[in-house]
C-alpha cells in the first residue's frame, strides 16, 4: 500500500504558527537552533500500520489541523517509533490543548500586567475616571479566541473555565467568542 498524501501547506503553516516555536511535548526551542528541528506529527496515524492508526477516521480528518501536532524531531521519534504505546492519542491531545491554552493565558496575564502597570503610572485621583472611561469598572470581558487550531468543543469549555479561574478577582463575567481564520475565506 502506498503512503497517503501529507497535509497541505496551508494546514502546515497554520499549526506551525500556533506553536510559538516550542515543542509542545518537551518544550525545547524548535526554531532551527542547536540542530533541533520542528516536525509535523499526526495524532492519529495517517497510514495503515502507523502509530495510533484508526481505520474509522477519514483521510480529511487525519490531515486536518485538529489531528496535527508540532513537536521536535526527537519527540516525533519517541511517540511514533520508540514508545508509541506510551503516547496514545488522548495523551497527545492533552499536550496540544495545554500548549495552546497556556499560550493564550500567558498573553492575557501579560495584558493584565500591562494594564495594572499603566494604572500605577496614572496619578491616584485620575484612576477612577480613567477606569470608568475605559470601561474597566464594568467587570465583564469579551474574549476572542482564534479557533484556527480547531480545538474540540470539550477543550473550549475547559479554556473558558481556566480563564474564569485566572481572572476571577478582576472580571466577573467572561463572554468567550470563538472565531476561525477559515471564516473569512
Under the rule (CB under 5 A), what is the footprint of Zn ion? 23, 25-26, 28, 72, 75
Q: How far is the CB of 39 from Zn ion (least distance, A)?
A: 9
Q: How far is the CB of 44 from Zn ion (least distance, A)?
A: 19
Q: How far is the CB of 51 from Zn ion (least distance, A)?
A: 16
Output 25 or 101, the one with its CB closest to Zn ion: 25
Q: How far is the CB of 96 from Zn ion (least distance, A)?
A: 13
Output 36 or 57, the one with its CB closest to Zn ion: 36
Output 39 or 162, the one with its CB closest to Zn ion: 39
Output 26 or 131, the one with its CB closest to Zn ion: 26
- Burial call 125-148: b when 16+ CB within 10 Å, e when fewer: eeeeeeeeeeeeeeeebebebebb
Amino acid at each position: 500500500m502506498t503512503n497517503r498524501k501529507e497535509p497541505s501547506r496551508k494546514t502546515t503553516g497554520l499549526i506551525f504558527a500556533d506553536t510559538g516555536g516550542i515543542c509542545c511535548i518537551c518544550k525545547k526551542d524548535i526554531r532551527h537552533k542547536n540542530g533541533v528541528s520542528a516536525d509535523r506529527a499526526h495524532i492519529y496515524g495517517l497510514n495503515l500500520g502507523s502509530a495510533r492508526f484508526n481505520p474509522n477516521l477519514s483521510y480529511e480528518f487525519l490531515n486536518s489541523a485538529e489531528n496535527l501536532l508540532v513537536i521536535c524531531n526527537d519527540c516525533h521519534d519517541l511517540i511514533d517509533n520508540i514508545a508509541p504505546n506510551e503516547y496514545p492519542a488522548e495523551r497527545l491531545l492533552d499536550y496540544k490543548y495545554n500548549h495552546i491554552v497556556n499560550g493564550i493565558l500567558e498573553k492575557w496575564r501579560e495584558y493584565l500586567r500591562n494594564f495594572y502597570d499603566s494604572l500605577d503610572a496614572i496619578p491616584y485621583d485620575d484612576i477612577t475616571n480613567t477606569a470608568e472611561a475605559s470601561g474597566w469598572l464594568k467587570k465583564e470581558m469579551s474574549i476572542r479566541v482564534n479557533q484556527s487550531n480547531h480545538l474540540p468543543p470539550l477543550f473550549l469549555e475547559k479554556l473558558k473555565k481556566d480563564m474564569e479561574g485566572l481572572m476571577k478577582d478582576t472580571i466577573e463575567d467572561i463572554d468567550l467568542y470563538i472565531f476561525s481564520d477559515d471564516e473569512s475565506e
